[in-house]
Structure 1
Amino acid sequence: MNFRLFSQLSSYHADIKRLIKIALPILLAQIAQNSMGLVDTIMAGRVSATDMAAISVGASIWLPLVLFGHGLLLALPPTVSYLNGSGQQHRIAHQIRQGIWIALASCIPLGILIYYSDFALRFMQMEPHMAHIAQDYLHAMLWGLPAYLLLMNFRCLNDGIAKTKPAMVITFLGLMLNIPLNYIFIYGKLGIPAFGAVGCGIATAIVNWSMCLMMIGYSYFNRQERKLQVFSQIIEKPNAATLKKLLQLGLPIAIALCCEVALFAITALLLSPLGANIVASHQIALNTSSLIFMFPMSIGMATTILVGQALGAGAPEKAKKLSYAALLLGLTLTVVTAFITIFYRYQIAAIFVTDEIVIGMAATLLFLAAIYQFSDTVQVVVGGVLRGYKDTKVILYITLFSYWVIGIPLGYVLARTDLLMPSIGAQGFWLAFVVSLTFAAVLLFYRMRKTQSLSDDVLMARLEKLK
């Protein structure tokens, strides 16, 4: 009995090591990507508060739209990992070439929405000068949209075959390039005019193209990927059957990502009438929790890859064991991050502001953020498992129900009304986050258990239809 238990723990240890090996580069790539936005904000802020605010407004429009396109391409990692695990590497190139069509086609509607974003800016009734800067910033960013989506297409190729280090290295190189380009275009150096915040958009577009070319170059010259023959033909006609399958997987992910980003944007808007201190405390807690969220998110992405490979190899029991190893890793890490968040919440808040009132309010929200980290970890890791099983529609349905049917209404009632209790401001939304994320975690976990309880024949037949 003791030998059997030791054997089980040893097997989990091996799976956890594999997860960490894949997840760590993903995590570092995400940190580098987010650091670009932080660098933009800081460097534009040295020009004026208006320039910094314009970037913030522009990003609130850019991010949900570009993540929609990104989400469409996230159908590729589970598809590629399944084909790689099942010994069907010869079919991977076709998926990536069809992904190029998804990337380019999605640029058209997304580009139109970004280009004509002045409608949204006018609706927000902001100061005209800031709105003008935000619009020009978005127009500059628009030139880098195709590059970003093509970059994601070839990153998904590498992620799908469990090569996550290239994206990490390339993203850090992009960050290193972003800083001097910002310096040149924001402040006007080397004979180039000073563009202010718009210079951030120009620099980001150049960085996106640079990273795109680096990722394509790596995929072309890497020996393992050369065998896949992705570049054996430059143009491949759109294949309706393949595109339909990819969109069936990717569209739910895209909508879920877009709605999740919109959720936090709407929360900030609903809190804005309650005063600057409440909004500031909310933003501190949100920035902190977003940073911590990168850890379970990276584990979830790594889980998708390894579960897809195991299922492709016809080993559903191995995929099941990987799922629980990922949950064990994620929750163990969450114990550490929740402990740090609770016991150092005042010090964390003091990094952002010096106002004691705001620090106290933010510390209360950070305590709630520490509580929901456990549910958040479960839902994002289990979501990664379900993507590995190519079960993406249910993630969309559960996300919409948990966030928009439970989260937003409950948060508004607690924060802005006295229907259930005296209104508690920002705490109301963060309590609602705890409730809604717990619902999402429970429902997704139930779905995972139900999927994994299917007989091997039924499960593999379902996956074969989607490959």
Structure 2
Amino acid sequence: MSVDTNTLQQKISLFIKIMIPILITQVALYLMSFFDILMTGRYDTYHLAGVTIGTSFWAPVYTGLAGILMGLTPIIAQQIGAKNKSSVRPTVQQALYVSLTLSAIIFILIKWAVLPAIMNMPLDVQVKQVAADYLTGMSIGLVPLMAYTVLRSFFDALGATRVSMLIILISAPINIVLNYLLIFGNFGFPELGGAGAGYASGFTYWLVFFIAAFIAWSSRHFKEFSLFSGWPRVSFTRWKEILAVGVPIGLSIFVEISIFSVVTLLMSSYTAQVISAHQIALNFTSLLYMVPLSVSMGTTILVGQSIGGGRTKDARQFTYLGIGFAVLFSFLSIFILLMLREEIASMYTPDPAIITLAVHFFIYAAFFQLSDAVQAPIQGALRGYKDVTMTFLVGVFSFWIIGLPTGYILAAYTELGAYGYWVGLIAGLTVGAVILSFRLRFIQSMQTKKSLEL
């Protein structure tokens, strides 16, 4: 629920209270994917390759479209901040209708676009079949996964981020157990190999949704919203509001995630050792990114509630708190990457050649941290203000017009080689952070002017 804070200490306390459960949730979600890869790798190399291919298609398609539903968080946060609770139920219900539509779109894309594309790839027949079966298994959980995304946005917008944390902490171990049963065929279950990881995730998504729905229906904290009663007809007016905020967010997420997939594909001309070292650096920095991402999501909630309540000064202070938290953590990340890079690389592989290459990639990854730490909370703040289109446009400009061409030129025409792609990404991310900083100041000044007029 929206909480008024008067002192800086109260704001810091509230920010941490909101952010820590989000961080735990994001790390747990990350670990679910990590164990899919780890356990499949223990089963068979071909099955690991199949799951890797399947994941590379699933991630941008799912996260881009599911990101549309993240637009619900600032919408509900502003409704709560404005004490307009009566609008929450119809907004959530219409978002659930939207989630069904998005589930159908993802299913169609997977069945009639992604699966044929995989079958036409120049890969081993077994690898292609595992990738297809893995995606089929994931698809059985599409409807509950998208519906859960709506309920999570509802919980988070109210500041009840511990609910999402509890659900994932319950579900993650169950997913690992299902992996154990369905990948390896233990205790009489069918031995599905890599496809088993997909079916395990699909079944887990149903469990996650049912737990979330039960909490939303039964908990005294959420009963007043009566989310599952008085279902209205489809309202395209509310769909328009949800999509106007959500579509740019989904596109922004797609732009950011797909750029790393494209860079990895462009690096396929290098040796397997270079590609492996690149993946190690990318994998570990993805884990570190969970902190600025969680700060960003917390910033969206608190800025949204503040703006809804007409507290523009609070919104500004929560924004700077978010940037401060992320920047402080970035210094720790830089220290870890520079001082422990050899030890980190050694956790992934015993191959000394790959370790040497990964150590060099980690140097560039360290430079990545500061720009990430500035950009992520600014994106979160702008979403809290419901200023989302500019974030998408800046993402396209910074990554695809600045970052990727710069990286390609440096990789192809300088001695940097594969490292050039990382320099390009750093350049793009830095440009994006600078532009979004100016955009944030403009939006804040507009909000201050608007509040003075009222």
Task: Identify if the C-alpha distance between structure 1 residues 461 and 174 changes in structure 2 by more than 3 Å, giving closer, same or farther.
Answer: farther
Aligned partner of 1:369 in structure 2 is 365
- In structure 1, what residue type is equivalent to 2:57? I
Question: Aligned to 2:225, what secondary structure does the other structure show?
Answer: coil
Of residues 17, 34, 50, the one that matches 1:21 is: 17
Task: Check if 1:91 corresponds to 2:87.
Answer: yes
Amino acid at match of 1:448: L
Q: 1:293-312 maps to which residues of 2 (within 5 A)?
A: 293-312=289-308
2:185 aligned residue: 188
Q: Deviations over 1:260-294 (max 9, x none)?
A: 11111111111111111110111111011101100
1:138 aligns to 2:135 (yes or no): yes
Aligned-residue offset at 1:459: 6.5
User: Counterpart in 2 of 1:44?
Assistant: 40
- One of 441, 444, 450 as aligned partner of 2:436: 444
The AA in structure 1 aligned to 2:59 is L
Q: Deviations over 1:30-72 (max 9, x none)?
A: 1111111111112212221011111111011111111122211
Query: Which residue is equivalent to 1:175?
Result: 172
How many residues align structurally? 448
Moved more, 182-191 or 26-35: 182-191
Letter in 2 for 1:433: L
**Alpha-carbon distance in 2 for matches of 1:185, 1:285:** 30
Runs of 4 or more off by more than 4 Å in structure 1? 459-462
RMSD: 1.6
In structure 2, distance between residues paired with 1:287 and 1:461 = 49
- Residue in structure 1 matching 2:151, options 150, 154, 158: 154
Note the 1:275-294 alignment, pairs <5 A.
275-294=271-290
Aligned to 1:326: 322
Corresponding residue to 1:428 among 416, 420, 426 = 420
1:6 paired residue number = none
Task: Indicate whether 1:388 and 2:380 are aligned.
Answer: no
Deviation string 1:215-268 (CA, Å, 9 cap, x unpaired) is 0111111112111121222x3211111110110100011111112111111111
Mark the CA change 1:461 to 1:265 in structure 2 (over 3 Å): closer, same or farther.
farther
Q: For residues 222 and 13 of structure 1, what CA distance do their matches in structure 2 show? A: 30
Shift of 1:123: 4.0
Matched residues in 2 for 1:337 and 1:449: separation? 27
Following TM superposition, by how much is the alpha carbon of 1:457 offset from its aligned partner in structure 2, in angstroms? 5.4
Give 1:330 deviation, angstroms: 1.2
- Is the partner of 2:222 in helix, strand or coil? helix
Match of residue 337 from structure 2:
341
Q: Supply the distance in 2 between the matched residues of 1:267 and 1:460 (Cα, whole angstroms).
A: 47
CA distance in 2: counterparts of 1:219 and 1:330, whole angstroms: 31
Counterpart residue number, 1:265: 261
Contact in 1 for aligned 2:312/2:447 (Cα 8 Å): no
Amino acid across the alignment from 1:169: L
TM-score, with structure 1 as normaliser: 0.93
1-structure distance, mates of 2:120, 2:334:
39
Q: Which consecutive residues of structure 2, in runs of 5 or more, have no partner in the other structure?
A: 1-5
SS at match of 2:135: helix
Using the size of structure 2 for normalisation, the TM-score is 0.96
What percent of counterpart residues are identical?
31
* Partners of 1:60 and 1:265 within 8 A in 2: yes
Q: Could you tell me how far apart the structure 1 residues matched to 2:417 and 2:145 are?
A: 38
Cα displacement string for residues 90-140 of structure 1 (whole angstroms, at most 9, x for unaligned residues): 111111001101100011121011123222213431111110111011111
Query: How do residues 107-146 of structure 1 correspond to structure 2 at under 5 angstroms?
Result: 107-116=103-112, 117-146=114-143
TM-superposed deviation, 1:461? 9.6
Structure 1 gaps, min length 5: 1-9, 463-467
Report the equivalent of 1:242. Answer: 238
Deviations 1:364-406 (A, max 9, x none): 1111111121111111100000000000000000000000001
Contact 1:16 1:326 in 2 (8 A): no
